[in-house]
Amino acid sequence: MEKTLFTSESVTEGHPDKLCDQVSDGILDEILRQDPTGRVACETYVTMGLLIVGGEITTNCFVDVHKTARKIIEEIGYTHPKYGFDFHTCAILNAIHTQSPDIAQGVDAGGAGDQGLMFGFACKETPELMPLAITLSQALSKRLSEVRKKAILKYLGPDGKSQVTVEYYKNKPVRVDSVVLASQHTEEILDKTGHNITQKAREEIIDVVAKPVLKHWVDKNTRYFVNQTGKFVVGGPQSDTGMTGRKIMVDTYGGTVPHGGGAFSGKDPTKVDRSAAYMARYIAKNIVAAGLAERCLVQLAYVIGYAEPLSVMVDTYGTSELSEADFIKLIRQNFQLNPAGIIKTLSLRRPIFKQTAAYGHFGRTEPGFSWEVTDKVEVLKKQAAKL
């Protein structure tokens, strides 16, 4: 088919799952500030009035879990009972214990912290070399939070979601077909029935949130769905339970490519679920940035306690003149794929992870996202020319 549609979604930082991701990564960062080699697998659960932090942590430092969690909840914007969750009054339980010695003996020797498979991807649909649908979805969710925090739309609450359907023609994105925005809000924008937001509020959200982000991608035929149930007054943990690691497609490529299944947040870089996924993105992005392919998918696979990957796979979807064997040779020559090498290459023993926990781990341009750097382009070009 020449014409196809593809959809990706995102959520705001106030979504219950993302709240949990940020608490888990916030605790990880606090540990890495004091103990760069600390072992962290931190999970968070949130529901009405209650947040539980658990997992396995081995460190020589002290982190005030309650204080850290409350600060993050406050920064997100749950600062008043009207949002159904409040950093002042929510209960917080700490159920953290130490890492299993059976796991530690394999990781201490330089091996991977777990088995599993990880994917990295890049394509030329956006300047960030990311798929367009997830890039626009992330930008919409970020804009929802921005207009709330800047009091541009004072009635918005912290919880929210976005979704974008992109139309492709001959595998190239040409327009946005539909846009979904769902945002928690106060009762002040309800109509007289009390069951729906006003038409004025709907149009305001489209004009202030959607159009400045989507720009030329939308046209007169683009469909908008804003709080499609009618209203979204009850939101956040009062409405939905949240858990760390439940937004893995939002965190990555929006469903464009496969996902290995391992979540990122709350995990220190010895966990290849996270660090090898970052390395796979780093590899794929540099390959595409070097002009060696239009699209590139990289898979890495590991076993617990063993340093080198069990397999390396590359798929360029017919957009490259090089063979998979050529790419694997380039990768082996230019990228360190064992956990210690990945950590060193990407400088992952830094407190940089809380900022990754909302609005995607990939395609980011802020400082700290070392896996987004395209510093291997020239060497890849030179070596590829000799193959």
Average pLDDT over residues 351-357: 98
Residues 69-83: tens digit of each pLDDT? 999 999 999 999 989
Provide the β-strand partners of residue 70: none
Cα–Cα distance, 244 to 194 (Å, whole number): 34
Mean pLDDT of 24-44: 96
Instruction: Confirm whether pTM is higher than 0.75.
Output: yes
Residue 113 has a pLDDT of 74
Q: What is the mean pLDDT of residues 224-241?
A: 92
pLDDT at residue 103 tops 70:
no
- Per-residue pLDDT at 199 exceeds 90: yes
Domains and CATH numbers, the chain: 3-12+132-235 (3.30.300.10), 16-108 (3.30.300.10), 116-123+271-381 (3.30.300.10)
Sign of the C-alpha dihedral computed for residues 117, 9, 178 and 208 taken in this order: negative
Low-confidence winner among 163-177, 225-239, 319-333, 344-358 (lowest mean pLDDT)? 225-239
pLDDT digits (tens, 9 = 90+) for 289-345: 999 999 999 999 999 989 999 999 999 999 999 999 999 999 999 999 999 999 999
**What type of residue is 84?**
G
* pLDDT of 108 over the 90 cut: no
Task: Tell me the average pLDDT across 48-57.
Answer: 96
At residue 1 the predicted structure's pLDDT band, cuts being 50, 70 and 90, is: low
Q: What is the DSSP string of 172-220?
A: EEEEEEEEEEEEEE-GGGB-TTSSSB-HHHHHHHIIIIIHHHHGGG--T
Q: Is residue 30's pLDDT more than 80? A: yes
Determine the Cα–Cα distance for residues 387 and 382; give it in Å rounded to an integer.
9
